[in-house]
């Protein structure tokens, strides 16, 4: 199902209104220093009133059956507001991993809870190197009889890792990297928060000491699943980045109009004007790239993997440029803790590096292009 | 796609199939085969250039006879009366075929001057020139820039004064005039009121290029060729019915042209331009130059392709907006900026991969040929509004930032 332009506009404005109300800057600042780093009441409202967690999940699992285009609108708004919520980990990482695994039983077990906002979830792939390449995974799973498995190893950079109810883990078996589901209450699992550059996105280090786990999808299918998940997840991340970049541009332009120096608004100086124009160029490219990737994902087009890689690289750069220049346009005030500019700067850098960073996503693009 | 679009597309294919061959499939690229020319501007010997102009005219005539000469034009002037979307669809389909390059007619004349004549000229001029242009008989040039008026176009100093018989007498010098050497008409901006503020004292005229007193002198470009010219106007007499718009109201006319200029530049996707940004071509080149494993070059290639592909997405978005009847916002200006930057970076990427083979011609296929594109790239950041001017436009018109304080330039134009 695809919403038309006016339905998308409506979706955008209701999400924006909701976030302006529930996630103003003061709320973000309060949450980024608390545990859990989101407000369960607000998350419940997002599920009940706006049905956000289930928006892009299939109807058979209790979702509304929309796609990446609609989810992209929500993610743009969420990135714009720096919304502290389990949205990205649950809907973009975990739910997409379940769908990509093509495991109907696992989907039927977990997705309805996710869609209803009752279950939060995450995906644990990277270890201490930070690589999302399943070939780099060293955590191991061994059979424990009756189709059950036990996990050993350590995962780092797990988004919402201390709070997610369901943790999907990529671990190695004799057949190769495979995907497993772990309950957060499972024995042998410990989670400690990691100190993060971007305090609005909580991350944890998880230790698995013979933790009971369920195989999701085929044994050894982890590489194929992760390729698909990374395409979808980086498209989702790109939308978030495009939203954040647009917000930085708007803040800069507003400031450049009112701040006076040498008797004129600083926006009338060409050095500032051109900075803003450069930001606009980046933001326009970012929106075009991320929305096009989302569209191709929904069309199940063969161009999607390339478009997703383009969106990831393009939006990563755009957000970083916009976040840096936003501080520059604001001058000294932009460098203060009190000003929100650094929150965007932190989010921009940390998003840019989340799945490995420029060297990795450049190679991913070339790989998707067959170069 | 709607039914009428499908019918139109089918009609276009029938027409093209009947007249021309398809271009060879780009994805089937074989290194070392086919044409390796990377020329953006032509630098052909004069006879070959005349032959190229003849072929351009010929193809335009065939298009016109079959109803595709001026897809958006009104029927009374030989147009088809269809929408810009039909036009874009035609271009997209035609790009699959091996047709003559009609740039000499199209980029300035049909893309920019034609729409301006349609919007602002008096009937005799419309009747006389519009059908001729779109039939391929008349080539038009843009006589705007002057030695003292480039980015600051409203500073034009070429004078037009009323003669005794009500006609106008033009004196002055134009510069950087593309295709003037092949043109039958030129759209000139002139100063008719030196007392008025500079934007208000300008009048536009259509000047027959064979009128006595018009002299075209080629200017050699850094590419070696001479696509643009100086045009000297000495006591050139132009009848009043060749005036476009009001007396002293020429700035409005100029804006129509400039708007179309921005839409035209940046929309040319075919030829060497497409090759320069083609992932297949660029990766084949890396293999051919043994730079396949060069990490620094691979990173640059990825950056380059990100921008080229994102720009394609931006254009696709603008096109979809057009299709649904929404006029695109910042996309056109951003696209024009990116077009120049993408090609510039591609040319430098390739020549860096080639290394010394880009400084002297070894005769190998697809190597030294790239210097032709390299040498054309500086122009792409200047023509049709420099990068700096485009950024001013984005900042002021799209983002709403304050204008720069007014200058006194207008007063410098002497009576
Ligand atoms: C290949 C080619 C073909 C052309 N064809 C035609 C044609 O057919 N007809 C025609 O009329 N013209 C044509 N032009 C002219 C073109 O439109 C002008 O060259 C262009 O508008 C710049 O003007 P200029 O060359 O006088 O440079 P200038 O205006 O002198 O600019 C010099 C530098 O100053 C900068 N600058 C100027 N003003 C500002 C400002 N306000 N803010 C910031 N920076 C500024 C510019 O960006 C540039 O970097 C052509 C040019 C080229 C290169």
Q: What is the pLDDT along chain B (415 residues), one digit of tens a residue?
A: 567 888 999 999 999 999 998 876 655 678 888 888 888 887 788 888 999 999 999 999 999 999 999 999 999 999 999 988 888 889 888 988 989 989 899 889 999 999 999 999 999 999 999 999 999 999 999 999 999 999 999 999 999 999 999 999 999 999 999 999 999 999 999 999 999 999 999 999 999 999 999 999 999 998 888 889 999 999 999 999 999 999 999 999 999 998 887 666 545 545 567 788 889 889 999 999 999 999 999 999 999 999 999 999 998 888 777 777 777 778 888 988 999 999 999 999 999 999 989 999 999 999 999 999 999 999 999 998 899 999 999 999 999 999 988 754 433 333 3
Q: Are residues A255 and A208 in the same domain?
A: no
Give the range of the structural domain holding residue A73, as residue numbers without chain letter: 5-119
Provide the CATH number for the domain around residue B61. Answer: 1.10.540.10
Is the pLDDT at A49 greater than 90, yes or no?
yes
Q: Closest ligand 1 atom, CA of B147?
A: 26
Say whether A273 and B313 touch across the interface (CB within 8 A): no
**Contact residues for A352 (Cβ-Cβ < 8 A; gap 6+):** A241, A316, A317, A319, A320, A358
Q: What's the rounded Cα separation, in Å, for the pair B318 and B239?
A: 41
d(CA A258, CA A264): 9
Binary contact (A274, B388; C-beta < 8 A):
yes
Query: Where residue B293 sits, what CATH number does that domain have?
Result: 1.20.140.10
Contact B38, B369 (CB under 8 A): yes
pLDDT at position B275, please? 80
Residues forming beta bridges with residue A168, ordered by sequence position: A123, A181
Task: Record the tokens describing residue B62, joined without a space.
Answer: 């065939």
Within a domain: B120:
yes
Instruction: State the pLDDT at residue B263.
Output: 63
B396 lines ligand 1 (CB under 6 A): no
Which tokens go with A196? 């993060």
DSSP string, A143-155: E-STT-EEEEEEE
Question: Is there a single domain that holds both residue A228 and residue A363?
Answer: yes
Of A265, A284, A291, the CB nearest to B331: A284
Decide if B313 and A310 are in contact by the 8 Å CB cutoff. yes
- Name chain B contacts of A270, Cβ cutoff 8 Å: 388, 392, 404
Nearest to A199 by CA among A326, A354, A344: A344
In B, which residues are within 8 Å of A280 by CB distance?
330, 334, 394-395, 398-399
Read off the CATH number of the domain in which B224 is found: 2.40.110.10
Does one domain contain both B279 and B349? Answer: yes
A 258-287 near B (Cβ less than 8 A): 264-265, 267-268, 270, 272-274, 276-278, 280-281, 284-286
Whether residue B394 sits in one domain with residue B272: yes
Rounded distance from Cα B228 to ligand 1 centre (Å) = 13
Is A86 in the same domain as A211?
no
Which band of pLDDT confidence, cut at 50, 70 and 90, is reported for residue A206?
Answer: very high
What residue numbers bound the domain in which B366 lies?
A: 267-398
A85-116: pLDDT as tens digits: 999 999 999 999 999 999 999 999 999 999 99
Running DSSP on this structure, what letter comes out for residue B327?
Answer: P
Mean pLDDT of A120-144: 96
Report the nearest-CA residue for atom 30 of ligand 1: B150
Q: Which residues, in sequence order, are CB contacts of A126 under 8 Å at separation 6+? A: A132, A155, A156, A157, A158
Is B27 contained in some domain? Answer: no
User: Residue B249: helix, strand or coil by DSSP?
Assistant: strand
Ligand 1 touching residue B333 (CB < 6 A): no
Specify if B409 maps to a domain: no
- Residue A257 and residue A165 in one domain: no
Which chain B positions have a beta carbon within 8 Å of A313's beta carbon? 302-303, 306
What is the whole-number distance in angstroms between the Cα of residue B179 and the centre of ligand 1? 17
pLDDT digits (tens, 9 = 90+) for A167-189: 999 999 999 999 999 999 999 99
Instruction: Determine if ligand 1 sits within 6 Å of the CB of residue B9.
Output: no
The CB of B145 under 6 Å from ligand 1? The reply is: yes
Protein residue closest via CA to atom 48 of ligand 1: B386
Nearest partner of A352 among A246, A245, A229, A275, judged by Cα: A245
Minimum-distance CB partner of A310 among B298, B306, B403: B306
**How many domains, in total, are found in chain B?**
3
Q: Domain boundary residue among B107, B135, B163?
A: B135
Q: Which of A148, A151, A147, A206 is nearest to A173 (CA)?
A: A151
Of the three residues A169, A197, A220, the one that is the final residue of a domain is: A220
Cα of B340 vs centre of ligand 1, distance in Å, is 14
- Known active-site residue B94: no
Q: Which of B330, B337, B404 sits opposite A270 (nearest CB)?
A: B404
Q: What number of other Cβ atoms are within 10 A of residue A298's Cβ? A: 19
Q: A365 vs B306: CB contact, 8 Å cut-off?
A: yes
Q: Is residue B254 assigned to a domain?
A: no
- From atom 37 of ligand 1, which residue's Cα is the shortest distance away? B151
Gap between the Cα atoms of B218 and A183, Å rounded: 78
The domain boundary, picked from B91, B114, B135, lies at B135
pLDDT at B4: 84
Q: Which of B49, B94, B261, B372 is catalytic?
A: B261
Q: How many domains does chain A fold into?
A: 3
Higher local confidence (pLDDT), A282 or B33: A282
Assess whether A230 and A358 both reside in one domain.
yes
């Amino acid at each position: 199902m695809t919403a038309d332009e006016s339905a998308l506009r409506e979706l955008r404005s209701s999400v924006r209104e909701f976030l302006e109300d529930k996630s103003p800057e003061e709320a973000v600042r309060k949450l980024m220093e608390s545990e859990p780093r989101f407000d369960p009441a607000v998350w419940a409202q997002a599920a009940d009133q706006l049905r956000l967690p289930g928006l892009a999940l299939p109807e058979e699992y209790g979702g509304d059956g929309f796609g990446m285009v609609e989810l992209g609108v929500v993610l743009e708004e969420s990135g714009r507001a720096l919304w502290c919520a389990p949205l990205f980990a649950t809907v973009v990482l975990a739910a997409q991993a379940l769908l990509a695994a093509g495991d109907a039983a696992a989907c039927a077990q977990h997705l309805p809870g996710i869609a209803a906002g009752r279950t939060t979830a995450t995906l644990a792939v990277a270890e201490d190197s930070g690589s999302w390449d399943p070939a780099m995974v060293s955590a191991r799973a061994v059979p424990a009889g009756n189709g059950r498995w036990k996990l050993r190893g350590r995962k780092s950079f797990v988004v919402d890792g201390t709070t997610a109810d369901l943790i999907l883990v990529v671990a190695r078996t004799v057949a190769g990297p495979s995907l497993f589901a772990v309950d957060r209450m499972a024995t042998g699992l410990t989670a400690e928060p990691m100190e993060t550059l971007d305090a609005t996105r909580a991350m944890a280090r998880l230790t698995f000491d013979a933790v009971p786990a369920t195989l999701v999808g085929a044994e050894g299918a982890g590489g194929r699943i992760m390729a698909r998940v990374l395409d979808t997840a980086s498209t989702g991340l790109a939308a978030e980045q495009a939203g954040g970049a647009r917000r930085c541009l708007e803040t800069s332009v507003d400031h450049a109009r009112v701040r006076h120096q040498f008797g004129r608004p600083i926006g009338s100086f060409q050095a500032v004007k051109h900075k803003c124009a450069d930001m606009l160029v980046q933001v326009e490219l970012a929106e075009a790239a991320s929305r096009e990737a989302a569209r191709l994902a929904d069309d199940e087009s063969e161009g999607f993997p390339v478009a997703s890689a383009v969106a990831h690289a393009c939006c990563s750069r755009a957000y970083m440029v916009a976040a840096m220049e936003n501080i520059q346009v604001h001058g000294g005030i932009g460098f203060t803790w009190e000003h929100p500019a650094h929150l965007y700067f932190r989010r921009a850098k940390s998003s840019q590096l989340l799945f490995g960073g420029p060297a990795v996503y450049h190679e991913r693009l070339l790989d998707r292009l067959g170069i | 796609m709607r039914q009428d679009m499908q019918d139109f597309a089918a009609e276009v294919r029938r027409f093209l199939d009947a007249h021309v061959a398809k271009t060879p499939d780009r994805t089937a690229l074989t290194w070392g085969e086919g044409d390796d020319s990377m020329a953006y501007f032509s630098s052909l010997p004069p006879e070959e250039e005349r032959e190229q102009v003849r072929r351009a005219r010929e193809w335009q005539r065939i298009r016109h006879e079959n109803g595709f000469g001026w897809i958006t034009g009104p029927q009374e002037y030989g147009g088809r009366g269809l929408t810009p979307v039909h036009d874009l669809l035609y271009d997209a389909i035609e790009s699959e075929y091996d047709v003559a390059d009609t740039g000499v007619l199209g980029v300035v004349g049909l893309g920019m001057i034609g729409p301006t004549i349609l919007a602002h000229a008096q009937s005799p001029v419309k009747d006389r020139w519009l059908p001729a242009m779109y039939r391929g008989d008349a080539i038009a040039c843009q006589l705007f820039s002057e030695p003292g008026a480039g980015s600051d176009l409203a500073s034009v100093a070429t004078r037009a004064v009323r003669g005794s018989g009500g006609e106008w007498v033009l004196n002055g010098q134009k510069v950087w005039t593309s295709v003037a050497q092949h043109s039958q008409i030129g759209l000139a901006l002139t100063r008719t009121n030196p007392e008025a503020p500079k934007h208000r004292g300008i009048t536009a005229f259509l000047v027959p290029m064979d009128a006595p007193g018009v002299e075209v002198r080629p200017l050699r470009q850094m590419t070696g060729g001479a696509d643009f010219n100086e045009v000297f106007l000495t006591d050139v007499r132009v009848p009043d019915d060749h005036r476009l718009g009001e007396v002293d109201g020429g700035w409005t006319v100029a804006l129509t042209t400039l708007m179309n200029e921005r839409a035209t530049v940046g929309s040319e996707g075919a030829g060497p331009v497409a090759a320069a940004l083609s992932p297949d071509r660029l990766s084949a080149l890396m293999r051919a130059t043994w730079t396949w494993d060069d990490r620094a070059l691979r990173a640059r290639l990825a950056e380059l392709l990100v921008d080229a592909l994102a720009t394609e997405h931006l254009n696709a978005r603008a096109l979809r907006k057009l299709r649904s009847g929404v006029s695109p916002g910042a996309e056109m200006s951003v696209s024009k900026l990116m077009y120049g930057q993408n090609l510039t970076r591609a040319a430098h990427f390739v020549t860096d991969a080639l290394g010394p083979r880009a400084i002297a011609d070894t005769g190998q296929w697809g190597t030294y040929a790239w210097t032709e594109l390299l040498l054309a790239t500086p122009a792409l950041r200047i023509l049709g509004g420099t990068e700096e001017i485009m950024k001013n436009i984005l900042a002021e018109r799209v983002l709403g930032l304050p204008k720069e304080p007014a200058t006194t330039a207008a007063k410098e134009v002497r009576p």
